[in-house]
């Protein structure tokens, strides 16, 4: 039987005492407990996970075949996930279905019946412009990534004239809003701009290329921003960041189109189209006049090649 600590303490008390420093007294005091405590020491519960040791005998549960079953290709070696027994793979016989469109945009959809319901409940104010900020703040929509698209479900339920600014809108929804006496304006939002508009540090629709006079909608002109230069308009309104404008050809052509009620439609001159590749048709009389002039020979030839036949 192992020795007991009380007996050891009695022997230590019979010996002559030695001088011990005062600050060492708490550390040298002996405790009266059994020395057999060493046999009961163990780790804390769930201190570590016991590793599964395969192939260590049938009693372990993973011993005889080590979880691989009996016989077969998978019991004797590794098999690729797409392996189909040596015959023609599925990816070749049937092909890979689907693809990921890197040019697509993730737009949150909202319908006219829901907007009318929120107006009747007092959650949206129709006397002020309904923008991305108001739609997110009123919880009429949840997650927004690239913008909002207005759809026409419940178009007959819309009775209140509204001035709404969204990323895109269907043609039926535009007709329904304008029939009720309201206006629809589409403008560009980036993913980062959506987050900043929701936080209230960026104006929901004013940017450098935003021209409220050309757009012709007085409801979207903030009175406190009148008379301020476009470069200083954002800081004058008390916002930290300036809303970006589109730079890609696809986005520019969409917001230049008056049919989509784009906020850049005033940039398209009369007789032109929203396409950035549009060129005016040169009359034959003008081409002949350029050919006769000595200075415009090269220019006439180049413009003749661009003539639409």
Map out the domains of the chain with their CATH numbers.
108-267 (3.100.10.10), 279-309 (no CATH)
| pLDDT tens figures, 120-163 | 999 999 999 999 999 999 999 988 999 999 999 989 989 999 99
Give the ranges where the chain is alpha helix by DSSP (H).
5-14, 25-28, 73-76, 90-93, 112-120, 132-137, 171-179, 191-199, 212-215, 233-236, 249-255, 284-292, 297-305
Signed CA dihedral, 181, 185, 191, 192: sign only: negative
**Does the pLDDT at position 29 exceed 70?**
no
Signed CA dihedral, 273, 279, 285, 286: sign only: positive
pLDDT at residue 269, as a whole number: 86
**Does the pLDDT at position 85 exceed 90?**
no
Those residues with Cβ within 8 angstroms of residue 129's Cβ, 6 or more apart along the chain or in another chain = 163, 164, 165, 204, 205, 219, 220
**Does the pLDDT at position 24 exceed 90?**
no
| pLDDT tens figures, 158-213 | 999 999 999 999 999 999 999 999 999 999 999 999 999 999 999 999 898 988 78
Determine how many CB atoms are found less than 10 A away from the CB of residue 107.
17
For residues 7-23, average pLDDT: 59
CB 276 within 8 Å of CB 254: no
| pLDDT averaged over every residue in the chain | 83
> What pTM, to 2 d.p., does this model score?
0.61
């Amino acid at each position: 039987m192992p020795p007991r600590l009380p007996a050891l303490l009695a022997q230590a008390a019979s010996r002559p005492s030695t001088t011990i420093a005062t600050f060492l007294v708490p550390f040298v005091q002996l405790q009266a407990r059994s020395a057999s405590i060493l046999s009961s020491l163990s780790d804390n519960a769930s201190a570590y996970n016991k590793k599964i040791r395969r192939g260590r005998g049938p009693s372990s549960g993973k011993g005889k075949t080590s979880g691989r079953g009996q016989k077969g290709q998978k019991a004797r070696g590794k098999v690729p996930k797409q392996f189909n027994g040596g015959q023609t793979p599925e990816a070749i016989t049937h092909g890979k279905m689907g693809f990921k469109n890197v040019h697509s945009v993730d737009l949150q959809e909202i319908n006219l019946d829901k907007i009318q319901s929120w107006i009747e409940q007092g959650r949206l104010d129709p006397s002020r412009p309904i923008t991305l900020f108001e739609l997110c703040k009123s919880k009429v929509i949840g997650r927004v990534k690239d913008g909002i698209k207005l759809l026409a479900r419940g178009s007959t339920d819309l009775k209140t004239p509204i001035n709404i600014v969204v990323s895109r809108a269907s043609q039926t929804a535009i007709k329904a809003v304008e029939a009720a006496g309201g206006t629809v304006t589409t403008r560009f939002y980036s993913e980062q701009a959506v987050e900043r508009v929701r936080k209230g540090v960026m104006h929901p629709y004013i940017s450098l290329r935003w021209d409220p006079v050309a757009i012709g909608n007085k409801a979207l002109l903030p009175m406190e921003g009148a008379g301020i230069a476009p470069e200083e308009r954002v800081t004058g309104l008390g916002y930290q960041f300036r809303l970006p404008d589109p730079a890609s050809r696809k986005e520019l052509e969409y917001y230049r189109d008056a049919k989509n009620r784009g906020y850049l439609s005033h940039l398209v001159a009369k007789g032109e189209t929203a396409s950035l590749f549009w060129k005016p048709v040169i009359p034959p009389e003008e081409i002949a006049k350029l050919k006769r002039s000595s200075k415009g020979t090269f220019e006439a030839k180049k413009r003749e090649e661009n003539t639409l036949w």
